[in-house]
C-alpha cells in the first residue's frame, strides 16, 4: 500500500462578523470511533460557563486562513485520512473545505461534495419524524412502548416514547453485545470477515438487547442505547405503515432537496463520491471498512449524507420548517447525561461563547460526524472525519476545527 500526502482545497463565500473567541472543553472524543458501535461521544464537550451570546452570521474573511489551517491539521497531525467541513450562514455557504485523500491506496483527493456515513446523526432524522407524528396526534410522547409494539419489550408498559428518544429507557444498548465488538485483533478480524456483512432485522436487534438486563428502571437514569432508536424506527413503521427510512425520505429528504442523503438498508456501499473509512489494526496499519452492511443500526445510525445536506437539514429543523414550535421545544428539553453534554429528543445543546448551538454527533467504523447550528437556524457547522490512527492529537485537532468553525478567531487558546 502506498500513501500519498494529503491534499487540501477550500471554497469561500463570506462577509465580516464580530470576531468572538470561545472555548469548548477539550477531550480526545474521537478515540471511540475505533469500535464498530455507534457512539454519542464524538461531539465537542460543552463549556458550561460559556455565555449564550448571539451567533454571528458568517466567518470573517480573516478567519479563512485559520479554518484552512485547522482543516489541514486534522489530517496532518490528527491521524485522519480525510476531513470535510462546512460553515453555512443565512442559507448559503460561508466556507467549505476538504483535506486528505479519498483512498490511501491511490492517493486520490477527497472531493468537497463527498458522501459519508453519518452514524448517530441518523437519530435526529428519525426523531424529527417521530415528533412530526406527535404533532399529527398519531404518537404521544408519553405513550408506552407496549401500545405500539405489544409484547416486544419487557416492561414495555412502563417505558415511554419520550424515554426512547432521550435515552432514559434503561434498555440495553445492543452494540455493547460482544458480537458487535471490534476491540482487539481477534474481535476486529471477526467483524471484518463476518460481522460487517451480516444482515439484521430490527426485531433481531431488539431481542439481542432485551436478552440482557436493563441498565436501570425506566426514567431512573440516562444511558446511551442504540436499541432505543431501532425501536423508534419500528414504531414509525407501525404508525404509518411505511418504513422509517421511507418516512425520512418522504418527510425530510425530498422536501428539502437533500440529493446526497440516503438510508441504505442492507447495502454495504456508500454511493457517489466518497472517502474510504479505515480503522487501525492492533498489529498495525489501517483496515478499509468503507463497505459495511448497516442494517443492524437502522434508525439509530445507518444514514449517509453530505456536509451540504446536513447543514440544510439542521437549518430547516431549527428555523421551524420541519416541526411546529411545541414539538421543537420538546425536542430541546434536555436531560443530564453525567457527561459534558446534555441530551434531548435526538438533539443535544452545546453552549458556546458565540451562542447556543444545537445538533448531534455520530460515529460508525471509519467515519465520524458532527452537526450543529444556532437556535435560529441561521448558522450551521458540519464536520466529517475519517480517523484511523487515533491519538490525543485526533481529539485536539478535531476540537480546534470545530471551535474555529463555530466562532472564528482561530479556535481556543492553548491549555
Torsional sign, CA 78, 103, 280, 366:
positive
Q: C-alpha angle 74/33/306, rounded to 5°?
A: 65
10-24 residues labelled b (16+ CB within 10 A) or e (exposed): bebebeebeebebbb
Give 203's strand partners: none
Quickly count: other Cβ atoms within 10 Å of residue 296's Cβ.
Answer: 29
Distance in angstroms (rounded) separating the CA atoms of residues 282 and 186: 10
Closest CA to 292 of 124, 208, 180, 186: 180
- Decide: 276 and 284 in contact? Cβ < 8 Å: no
- Decide: 346 and 303 in contact? Cβ < 8 Å: no
Torsional sign, CA 255, 247, 145, 127:
negative
| Residues annotated as part of the active site | 120
Half-sphere exposure of 207 (CA within 13 A, CB side): 5
Distance in angstroms (rounded) separating the CA atoms of residues 181 and 178: 5
137-176 residues labelled b (16+ CB within 10 A) or e (exposed): eebebebbbeebbeebbebbebbbbbbbbbbbbbbbbbbb
Half-sphere exposure of 355 (CA within 13 A, CB side): 22
* Dihedral angle computed from the Cα positions of residues 166, 261, 272 and 115, in that order, rounded to the nearest 10 degrees: -50
Amino acid at each position: 500500500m502506498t500513501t500519498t500526502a494529503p491534499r487540501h482545497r477550500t471554497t469561500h463565500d463570506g462577509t465580516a462578523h464580530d470576531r468572538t473567541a470561545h472555548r469548548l472543553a477539550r477531550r480526545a472524543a474521537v478515540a471511540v470511533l475505533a469500535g464498530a458501535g455507534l457512539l454519542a461521544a464524538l461531539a465537542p464537550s460543552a463549556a458550561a460557563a460559556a455565555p449564550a451570546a448571539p451567533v454571528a452570521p458568517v466567518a470573517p474573511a480573516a478567519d479563512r486562513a485559520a479554518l484552512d489551517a485547522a482543516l489541514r491539521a486534522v489530517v496532518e497531525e490528527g491521524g485522519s485520512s480525510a476531513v470535510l467541513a462546512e460553515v453555512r450562514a443565512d442559507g448559503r455557504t460561508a466556507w467549505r473545505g476538504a483535506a486528505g485523500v479519498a483512498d490511501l491506496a491511490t492517493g486520490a483527493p477527497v472531493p468537497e461534495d463527498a458522501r459519508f456515513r453519518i452514524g448517530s446523526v441518523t437519530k435526529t432524522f428519525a426523531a424529527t419524524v417521530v415528533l412530526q407524528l406527535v404533532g399529527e396526534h398519531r404518537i404521544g410522547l408519553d405513550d408506552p412502548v407496549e401500545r405500539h409494539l405489544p409484547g416486544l419489550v419487557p416492561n414495555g408498559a412502563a417505558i415511554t416514547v419520550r424515554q426512547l428518544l432521550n435515552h432514559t429507557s434503561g434498555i440495553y444498548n445492543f452494540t455493547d453485545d460482544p458480537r458487535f465488538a471490534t476491540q482487539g485483533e481477534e474481535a476486529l478480524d471477526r467483524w471484518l470477515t463476518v460481522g460487517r456483512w451480516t444482515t439484521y432485522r430490527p426485531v433481531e436487534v431488539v431481542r439481542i438487547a432485551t436478552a440482557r438486563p436493563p441498565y436501570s428502571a425506566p426514567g431512573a437514569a440516562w444511558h446511551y442505547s442504540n436499541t432505543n432508536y431501532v425501536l423508534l424506527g419500528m414504531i414509525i413503521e407501525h404508525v404509518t405503515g411505511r418504513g422509517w427510512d421511507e418516512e425520512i425520505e418522504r418527510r425530510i429528504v425530498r422536501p428539502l432537496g437533500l440529493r446526497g442523503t440516503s438510508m441504505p438498508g442492507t447495502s454495504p456501499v456508500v454511493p457517489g463520491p466518497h472517502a474510504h473509512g479505515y480503522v487501525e489494526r492492533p498489529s498495525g496499519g489501517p483496515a478499509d471498512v468503507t463497505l459495511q452492511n448497516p442494517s443492524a443500526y437502522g434508525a439509530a445510525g445507518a444514514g449517509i449524507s453530505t456536509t451540504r445536506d446536513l447543514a440544510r437539514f439542521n437549518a430547516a429543523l431549527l428555523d421551524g420548517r420541519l416541526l411546529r414550535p411545541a414539538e421543537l421545544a420538546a425536542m430541546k428539553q434536555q436531560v443530564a447525561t453525567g457527561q459534558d453534554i446534555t441530551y434531548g429528543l435526538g438533539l443535544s445543546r452545546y453552549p458556546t461563547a458565540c451562542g447556543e448551538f444545537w445538533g448531534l454527533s455520530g460515529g460508525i467504523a471509519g467515519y465520524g460526524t458532527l452537526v450543529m447550528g444556532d437556535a435560529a437556524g441561521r448558522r450551521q457547522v458540519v464536520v466529517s472525519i475519517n480517523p484511523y490512527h487515533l491519538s490525543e492529537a485526533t481529539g485536539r485537532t478535531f476540537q480546534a476545527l470545530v471551535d474555529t468553525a463555530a466562532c472564528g478567531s482561530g479556535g481556543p487558546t492553548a491549555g
